[in-house]
Amino acid sequence: MQAAEAVKSVEVPVGVEIQVEGRVVSVKGEKGTVTRDFSKAPVTIELDGKTVWVKASWPRKREAALVGTISSHIRNMIVGVTKGFTHKLKIVFSHFPISVKVKEKTVLIENFTGERSSRKVRIMGDVKVSAKGDDVVVQGINLEDVSQTAANIQNATKVKKKDPRVFLDGIYVYERLEGMEI
C-alpha cells in the first residue's frame, strides 16, 4: 500500500536558476534573486532537474492546501525574477492637491485633505517607487513587497470619520502588471 500524497510541480524556465536547501528556496534570474523560507510549512520541496516538486505525505485539508500555496509562491518568484511586478496607483483629489514625494525608504504624502503634517509610508524590501504627475508606480521583483507597499500607500490615504461616497480623495491602486517596462 502506497502513502497518499498531495503533489504539485513547478516547471523552471530557461534562464532561471533555482536552489533548494531544505525548505529554503532561492530563485535567480535576469532581474535579481528572490529567497523565501518555507520552513514553517509541513511539506517537502525537491528539485529534480528543471522541475520543483512540492509534496505533503498523508495530508489533511490544511497541508494539501499548503502544497498549492507554496507552488504558487514559487511560480510568483519565477515571474518576479524574469518579468518583475508593477502596481500603478492614481492620486485623486477634489479640493486640496495631494503631492507625493519619495525619500529613501519612505513615501511622503503631503497636503492630504489640507493636513499640515505629511503622512509617511514605509517602502518594503527592494521596491522602487516613483511619483510622476498624478500617478504613483511601485515596481519590484518580490510580489509580496510590491503589493504590500502599494496597499500601505492606499491605506495611508484612507478617509476616516467622513462619508466615503462624498470624500473620494486618496491614492488608489488601479492596475497590476507583470513586467517592469515603464
Can you list the domains of the chain with their CATH numbers? 5-82 (3.90.930.12), 85-178 (3.90.930.12)
**How does 143-173 read in b/e, with b if 16+ C-beta sit within 10 Å?**
bbbbbbbbbebbebbeeeeeeeeeeebbbeb
Per-residue confidence at 181, pLDDT binned at 50, 70, 90? low
Q: How many CA atoms lie within 13 A of 2 on its CB side?
A: 3
Task: Give the 3-state secondary structure of residue 141.
Answer: coil
- pLDDT for 32-55, tens place per residue? 999 999 999 999 999 999 999 999
Per-residue confidence at 3, pLDDT binned at 50, 70, 90? low
In three-state form (DSSP H/G/I as H, E/B as E, the rest C), the secondary structure along 64-105 is HHHHHHHHHHHHHHHHHHHCCEEEEEEEECCCCCCEEEEECC
Per-residue confidence at 1, pLDDT binned at 50, 70, 90? very low
Q: How many CA atoms lie within 13 A of 70 on its CB side?
A: 29
Task: Specify the higher pLDDT residue, 180 or 147.
Answer: 147
